[in-house]
Amino acid sequence: MTKSYGFDTLQIHAGATPDPATGARQVPIYQTTAYVFRDADHAAALFNLQEVGYIYSRLTNPTVAALGERIAALEGGVGAVCCSSGHAAQIMALFPLMQPGCNVVASSRLYGGTIQQFSNTIRKFGWSAKFVDFDDLAALEAAVDDNTRAIFCESIANPGGYITDLDAVAAVANRVGLPLIVDNTSATPWLCRPIEHGATLVVHSTTKYLTGNGTVTGGAVVDSGKFDWSASGKFPSLSAPEPAYHGLKFHEALGSMAFTFHSIAIGLRDLGMTMNPQGAHYTLMGIETLSLRMARHVENAQKVAEWLEKDPRVEFVTYAGLPSSPYHHRVARICPRGAGALFTVAIKGGYEACVRMVSALELFSHVANLGDTRSLVIHSASTTHRQLSPEARAKAGAGDNVLRLSIGIEDAADIIADLDQALARATA
């Protein structure tokens, strides 16, 4: 879109134009694997990246491309690549940057699945991760070495709802000449736009708030277009001749779009972490109401957190929207529309009380997901974070006595009533 539109307009219109063949107003589901070339020269131009178009749906698809354009517009990036899940997006973000022997410095406050992926799975690629408390900026900078290729954190951390000081972390990334990757899943661009705070890349699990209805999995990587990939010799896949694409120098040839095109032409081509067009369609429809849903999520979360904090059956609540939170002072600067709808609550009675409470809840759904319109609960210590050591769980905010709540858009009074009756049964 050429004009400068507001968020509510972009969430409906960005990436979407009436279908030129039929006039269809909603983005069609282009359920096709391949696309007919006009002639041999057209095919060659597409494969040489001299012309933008569609080749094969493992790489690009019109429905998926519309979603990528919409997410990029909402995040203020130059381009986006959509893929099969949030975990896929994390690998896609690192793939053009890393080589065997390289590492990423990551926040110790991350989703348990991300900690697992970075602790173990990426080692199969010859990569590694160092986990640091990002509130300790000196420790963050000290963790960077000659083999570090990225800094990774979440804007609003899952599960605790901690808010990262993105401006301070970006300042460290700038000093050491590395890209900052921010997972913005819990916040969404309606609450936080990490690129405005210095992020190089933004990743999403589109499964969560962007889709908002618990129907499909997906992921996205948004490129700010602002990082100079040729400033050092650390990123040869983008700055040097790329052997995986007939020696093309992506940054030299494609400038600010280098990362995006590399991720499509090589990342999706070779890793195959492709989003399907029907999934993209569901997410496009979900994003149309993103701002409306997020406003209600935040409103409800604030009410629920305030009620829980006053309850004598509760040890603590981690919601950053509460004045008692050590991260409350960051809300106005990092997430000016609110602290999100994801936080943890510690129940008196420990592990067993948490298990009883999960079983007693009626309105809340006990699922391994977040960001749904429904209120959701999970005991992270026995599920999403159980593969971690007790020490690592504690650092991630997933202790044995902690429940993760994802507050939905139901009537707030009904959410509170369900928590009240479940607490009574759990702590009897």
Among the candidates 286, 306, 325, a domain finishes at 286
Q: Is residue 188 one of the residues assigned to a domain?
A: yes
Question: What residues pair up with 402 in beta bridges, in sequence order?
Answer: 346
Q: Are residues 145 and 36 in the same domain?
A: yes
Band of residue 3 on the pLDDT scale cut at 50, 70, 90: low
Q: How many helices (H) and strands (E) does the chain have?
A: 18, 12
For the chain, the domain total comes to 2
Give how far the C-alpha of residue 376 lies from the chain's centroid of Cα atoms, to the nearest Å.
18
What is the arithmetic mean of pLDDT over 407-423? Answer: 98
Q: Look at the block and give the residue holding tokens 């012309």.
A: 51
* 159 lies in the same domain as 297: no
- Whether residues 215 and 321 fall in one domain: no
CB 315 within 8 A of CB 401: yes
CATH of the domain at 196: 3.40.640.10
Cβ proximity of 11 and 74 under 8 Å: yes
Tokens of 104: 């990423």
Of the two residues 393 and 122, the one the predictor is more confident about is 122
Q: Do 84 and 232 reside in the same domain of the chain?
A: yes
Which residue among 231, 263, 286 closes a domain? Answer: 286
Is 389 part of a structural domain of the chain? yes
**Same-domain pairing of 110 and 230:** yes
Answer yes or no: is 2 within a domain.
no
Task: State what percent of residues in the chain have pLDDT above 90.
Answer: 90
Do 190 and 276 fall into the same domain? Answer: yes
- Residue among 221, 13, 279, 273 at smallest CA distance from 97: 221
Same domain, 263 and 302: no
State whether 255 and 337 are in the same domain.
no
| Residue at which a domain ends, from 244, 271, 286 | 286
CB distance 16 to 268 below 8 Å: no
Cβ proximity of 210 and 286 under 8 Å = yes
- For 361-395, the pLDDT digits (tens) are 999 999 989 999 999 999 988 876 677 777 777 76
Same domain, 182 and 328: no
| Each residue's pLDDT tens digit, 131-176 | 999 999 999 999 999 999 999 999 999 988 999 999 999 999 999 9
Using alpha carbons, list the distances in angstroms from residue 408 to 115, 273, 304: 26, 29, 11
Shared-domain flag, residues 379 and 278: no
Q: Which amino acid is at 188?
A: T
| pLDDT class of 396 with cuts at 50, 70, 90 | low
- Beta-bridge mates of residue 404: 344, 378
Identify whether residues 341 and 217 lie together within a single domain: no
138-156 per-residue burial string, b: 16 or more CB within 10 A, e: under 16: eebbebbeeebbbbbbbbb
Residue 228 has pLDDT above 80, yes or no: yes
State which residues form the domain around 106.
7-286
Tell me if 111 is assigned to some domain.
yes
Q: Would residue 1 count as lying in a domain?
A: no
Q: Measured between alpha carbons, how far is 64 from 276 in angstroms, rounded to an integer?
A: 7
Tokens of 325: 């939170």
Report yes or no on 84 lying in a domain. Answer: yes
Which amino acid would we find at residue 182? V
- Asked if 279 and 304 sit in the same domain, the reply is no
Give the chain's mean pLDDT. Answer: 95
Q: Is residue 47 part of a domain?
A: yes
341-363 confidence digits (pLDDT tens): 999 999 999 889 999 999 999 99
Nearest to 396 by CA among 175, 159, 88: 159
Instruction: Say whether 152 sits in a helix, a strand or coil.
Output: strand
Residue 215 lies in a domain: yes
CATH number at residue 389: 3.90.1150.10
Quick: pLDDT tens for 173-217: 999 999 999 999 999 999 999 999 999 999 999 999 999 999 999
Give the integer Cα–Cα distance in Å for 272 and 292.
34
Q: pTM of this prediction?
A: 0.95
